[in-house]
Structure 1
Amino acid sequence: MNYNIIGEPFPAVVCTLNADESMITERGSMCWMSPNMKMETTSNGGIGKVFGRMFSGESMFQNRYTAVGGTGTIAFASSFPGSVRCFDITPNNPLIVQKSGFLASESTVELSVHFQKRFGAGLFGGEGFIMQKLSGFGKAFIEIDGHAVEYDLRPGQSIVVDTGYLAAMSASCTMDIQTVRGVKNVLFGGEGFFNTVVTGPGKVLLQTMPINAVAGSIAPYIPSGGKN
């Protein structure tokens, strides 16, 4: 499988598959394809995996696209302005992704639910208890809200991230919360009560325009039903 990411900041990934190669994606991500691409809607696992995907922000079923009779082409578009990144998933290098961050992957990659082990990180860290885990073997594409910034953390090295700006991290990284210090900082700093702390070793992928921040910025300008 070969691919080409085009169109940023409104990106899509165009994939060229050899005969009988397959890709999986969530419902509604496919934007165009060659006529020989066969679609099959599948649960891609047992009932546990179905509900796990639902809790992680994805649809319960996945679409599998297979090139039949020769080379096929298929494209998947991001749902929000930003970036699309490709990751090579291996059994020793799974990836943890924000909810609804998965775009598409080779069929040998498994999408499952990832629960935050630390109660505080899940409750106050802004990323939620439930994220997505990509494991198995193959290429996977994820959506990034805005521009993508990547850091490679050494063992024990940490980075402090504001709510919503964490897009993905290596499964070897850990996530915790840090309280914003100082009453004035909390009340008037505008950054909230908690930050997320990601500690290596592993890669961390940050995003510059999380959708929740965009929604908060435009909300004051949306007329409400009670105003004339």
Structure 2
Amino acid sequence: MKYRIIGDTMPAVEVMFDVPGECMYTQSGGMAWMSDGIEMATNTRGGFMKGLGRMFAGESLFMATYRAQRPGATIAFASTVAGRILPLDVTATGGMICQKGAFLCAEDGVQLKIALSKKFSSGLFGGEGFILQDISGKGMVFLEIDGDMVDRYLEPGEVLKVDTGNVVAFDRSVRYEIETVKGLGNIFFGGEGLFLTKLTGPGRVVLQTQNIAEFAGRIAQFIPTSGN
């Protein structure tokens, strides 16, 4: 297959299949447009329990698979918020651990499953959920970035502290923990929440400049309620 990224503000990835039988899958409702010559099938992809695990990781219970019936058929998957789309060759990189909601679409050989953080407190208090996404297998996967992307490589022992909602993905070699913000004044008046994500190298870390949950919360403040 071939692909191209279309657009800057609200990008989409458009895939062109080379041969019949090639396919892409995405969460339910993730397809933006497609040509003739593509067959769609919807299922839990791996069984009900795997589908349930994806729900906890921020994706849908059902996955839609789009299979080419003829060469040259095209299909596109669009981002849900303003930002970027990150192509990741899982065959070459070995995959990554991602935060919930980062997955956009992937080739059929890519495996998407849940990954529990090593420390229970990391997920219980981290703000983005105890369950992460483990991407492995072979093929291309496309991740959704909210806002702009920041790509960092941490040296062995190097520490990066990040607001949890700004973490997109990281190598399996990176240690992931949650650290409590120190000082009562910082906790109540600092505006950064009670916890930060602590990432320790070595390995690649992908960050995003927008925290969509925080952004949505700010917009919600301006939405009139029935009592107003």
Equivalent residue, structure 1, for 2:77: 76
Look up the equivalent residue of 1:57 and give its one-letter code. Answer: G
Q: Matched residues in 1 for 2:4 and 2:148: separation?
A: 18
Look up the equivalent residue of 2:35 and give its one-letter code. Answer: S
Equivalent residue, structure 2, for 1:121: 122
Query: After the TM superposition, which parts of structure 1 deviate over 4 Å for at least 4 consecutive aligned residues?
Result: none
Cα contact 2:97–2:135 (8 A) shared by 1: yes
Equivalent residue, structure 2, for 1:186: 187
Equivalent residue, structure 2, for 1:94: 95
Q: Matched residues in 2 for 1:163 and 1:123: separation?
A: 12
2:156 match: secondary structure: coil
TM normalised by structure 2 equals 0.94
Shift of 1:166: 0.6
Cα contact 1:34–1:72 (8 A) shared by 2: yes
Q: Matched residues in 2 for 1:116 and 1:193: separation?
A: 19
Cα contact 1:93–1:171 (8 A) shared by 2: no
Equivalent residue, structure 2, for 1:109: 110
Look up the equivalent residue of 1:219 and give its one-letter code. Answer: A
2:46 match: secondary structure: coil
Question: 1:5-154 counterparts in 2 under 5 A?
Answer: 5-19=5-19, 20-90=21-91, 93-154=94-155
Q: Matched residues in 1 for 2:48 and 2:184: separation?
A: 47
Cα contact 2:160–2:200 (8 A) shared by 1: yes
Shift of 1:92: 6.5
Shift of 1:188: 2.0
* Aligned sequence identity (%): 47
1:144 match: secondary structure: strand
Look up the equivalent residue of 2:125 and give its one-letter code. Answer: F
Q: Matched residues in 2 for 1:33 and 1:102: separation?
A: 19
Unaligned runs of 5+ in 1: none
Q: Matched residues in 1 for 2:159 and 2:95: separation?
A: 19
Unaligned runs of 5+ in 2: none
Q: Matched residues in 2 for 1:221 and 1:8: separation?
A: 27
1:163 paired to 2:170: no
Q: Matched residues in 2 for 1:66 and 1:172: separation?
A: 34
Shift of 1:219: 2.1
TM normalised by structure 1 equals 0.94
Shift of 1:91: 8.3
Equivalent residue, structure 2, for 1:2: 2
Aligned residues: 227
Cα contact 2:57–2:129 (8 A) shared by 1: no
Root mean square deviation, CA, Å: 1.5
